[in-house]
Chain A
Amino acid sequence: MKKFLALLLTLVMVLSLAACGGDKAEEPAKTDEPAKTDEPAAPTVKVGFICLHDENSTYDLNFINGAKAACEKLGVTDYVIKTNVPEGQECYDTAAELADDGCNIIFADSFGHEDYMIQAAKDFPDVQFCHSTGTRAHTEGLSNYHNAFASIYEGRYLAGIAAGMKLNEMIADGKFTAEEAKIGYVGAYTYAEVVSGYTSFFLGARSVCPTATMEVTFTGSWYDETAEKEGAQKLINNGCKLISQHADSMGAPTACELAGVPNVSYNGSTAAACPNTYIVSSRIDWAPYYEYAIGCVMNGEAIDADWTGTLATGSVVLTDLNENVIAEGTADAIKEATAKLEDGSLHVFDTAAFTVGGTALDSYQADVDTDANYTPDTEVILDGYFHESEFRSAPYFDLRIDGITLLDEAY
Chain B
Amino acid sequence: MNKTMKFHISKRASLPWYKAWGIRAAAILAALLTCAVVTMLLTGENPLNIFTTLFYGAFGTARRSWVTIQELAILLGISLAVTPAFKMRFWNIGAEGQVLIGGLATTACMICLADKLPNAGVILCMILASIAAGAVWGFLPAFFKARWNTNETLFTLMMNYIATQLAAYYIIVWEVPKGAGKIGIINQSSEIGWLPRLGNQYLLSILIVALLTGVMYIYLNYSKHGYEIAVVGESQRTASYAGIKVERVIIRTMVLSGAVCGLMGLLLVGGINHTLTTTVVDGRGFTAVMVSWLAKFNPIAMIFTSLLLVFLSRGASEISSAFGLNHSFSDILTGIILFFIIGSEFFITYKISVRRSAGKEA
Contacts and interface: CB of A to CB of B under 8 A. Distances in A.
A220 interface: yes
A82 B301 CA distance: 32
A194 B344 CA distance: 52
B60 A20 contact: yes
A226 to B, nearest CB: 15
Contacts of B277: 86-88, 112
Which has the most chain B C-beta neighbours within 10 Å: A3, A87, A410?
Answer: A87
Given A20-B59, A80-B322, A82-B321, A189 B180 contact: yes
B178 A374 contact: yes
A109 to B, nearest CB: 14
A115 B184 contact: yes
B177 A220 contact: no
Contact of A189 (B62, B181, B327): B181
B300 interface: yes
A1 B17 contact: yes
Interface residues of B, number: 46
A112 B178 contact: no
Given A115-B184, A116-B185, A135-B177, A20 B274 contact: no
Contacts of B161: none
Contact of A114 (B18, B65, B184): B184
A220 B172 contact: yes
Interface size class of A (residues with CB under 8 A): 35 or more
Contacts of A81: 321, 324
B327 A83 contact: yes
A72 interface: no
B332 interface: no
Contacts of A100: 61, 63-64
Interface string B320-334: 111010110000000
Contacts of B182: 87, 111-112
A176 interface: no
Contact of A115 (B56, B63, B185): B185
B21 interface: yes
Contacts of A119: 185, 188
B67 interface: yes
A88 B21 CA distance: 38
B61 A20 contact: yes
Interface in A2-53: 2-3, 5-6, 9, 13, 16-17, 20-21, 23-24
Interface in B177-193: 177-182, 184-185, 188
Nearest to B186: A115
B280 A88 contact: yes
Interface stretch (A89-97, A150-158, A159-167): A89-97
Contacts of A13: 307
Nearest to B111: A372
Given A20-B59, A81-B324, A6 B300 contact: yes
B218 to A, nearest CB: 15
A372 B327 contact: no
- Chain B contact residues, majority secondary structure: helix
B272 interface: yes
A89 B59 contact: no
Contacts, number: 119
Interface in A378-396: none
A192 interface: yes
B151 interface: no
B106 interface: no
A24 B61 contact: yes
Interface string B224-268: 000000000000000000000000000000000000000000000
Contacts of B60: 20, 23-24
A93 B67 contact: yes
Contact of A191 (B179, B188, B321, B327): B179
A97 B63 contact: yes
B273 interface: yes
Nearest to A187: B179
Given A24-B62, A54-B326, A370 B304 contact: no
B221 interface: no
Interface in A49-95: 54-55, 80-84, 86-89, 93
A17 B300 contact: no
Interface in B157-180: 168, 172, 176-180
A411 B181 contact: yes
Contacts of B17: 1-2, 5
A116 B188 CA distance: 10
A330 to B, nearest CB: 32
Contacts of B130: none
A112 B64 contact: no
B275 interface: yes
Contacts of A20: 55, 59-62, 64-65
Which has the most chain A C-beta neighbours within 10 Å: B181, B274, B300?
Answer: B181
B61 A411 contact: no
A362 to B, nearest CB: 24
A205 interface: no
Nearest to A24: B61
Contacts of A5: 17, 21
Interface in B89-138: none
Contact of B327 (A23, A84, A114, A116): A84
20 contacts: A2-B300, A6-B301, A6-B304, A20-B60, A23-B60, A23-B61, A82-B321, A83-B321, A84-B317, A84-B327, A88-B280, A96-B63, A100-B63, A100-B64, A111-B182, A115-B188, A115-B275, A190-B178, A192-B179, A411-B172
Interface of A: 1-3, 5-6, 9, 13, 16-17, 20-21, 23-24, 54-55, 80-84, 86-89, 93, 96-97, 100-101, 111-112, 114-116, 118-119, 135, 188-192, 194-195, 220-222, 367, 370, 372, 374, 398, 410-411
Interface of B: 17-18, 21, 55-56, 59-65, 67, 168, 172, 176-182, 184-185, 188, 272-275, 277, 279-280, 282, 298, 300-301, 303-304, 307, 317, 320-322, 324, 326-327
Given A93-B63, A411-B179, 13 more contacts: A1-B18, A2-B17, A2-B300, A13-B307, A20-B55, A20-B59, A20-B60, A24-B60, A84-B327, A88-B272, A88-B277, A112-B184, A191-B177
Sorted nearest first, the 7 A-B pairs with minimum C-beta distance are A191-B179, A115-B185, A190-B179, A88-B273, A89-B273, A20-B59, A112-B182
